Amino acid sequence: MSTPNPDAASTSCEGPVDESCAEPHCSRCDAVCCRLTVVVMPEDRVPSHLLDTRNGLTVMAHDEEGWCVALDSARMCCSIYESRPEVCRRFVMGGPYCRSVRAEYSERRALGIELVAY
Ligand code: SF4
Ligand code: SF4
């Protein structure tokens, strides 16, 4: 899915992960938006080893668990924050899409449903 993505892992990495929290904040999130498909545009400056191709589009590659390979999984922060794709820069923390992906993620975890890559 080509979607706006995460400004996610962009902010502080402190604090517990809590997708059920009423007011979303990256510091209390599993960087859920970093599971979305991020289309990388020619003008983006992302290192080539982090890229993949899907349906003819250049996208951020995902790891085996479905997160963007640029995510620092120890801190749940974007490891290429300064050069993250434009689509990531436009993703709004607390916006409708952020809330939607967090809600779906929480529901799947609560029900023990296997997570899916988007
Ligand atoms: S889903 Fe929302 S709260 Fe979570 S990391 Fe992405 S922008 Fe931040
Ligand atoms: S490039 Fe950074 S902000 Fe964008 S999806 Fe990957 S880890 Fe998240």
Q: For the chain, what are the domain ranges?
A: 8-110
Residues forming a β-bridge with 77? 72
* Rounded distance between C-alpha atoms, residue 74 and residue 70, angstroms: 12
* Rounded distance between C-alpha atoms, residue 105 and residue 86, angstroms: 24
Among 5, 35, 45, 98, name the best residue to mutate to test ligand 2's pocket (greatest count of ligand atoms within 8 A of Cβ): 5
Ligand 2 atom at shortest distance from the alpha carbon of 71? 7
Instruction: Give the pLDDT of the chain (118 residues) as one tens digit per residue.
Output: 334 444 444 433 344 455 555 689 999 999 999 999 999 999 999 999 999 999 999 999 999 999 999 999 898 899 999 999 999 999 999 999 999 999 999 998 888 876 665 5
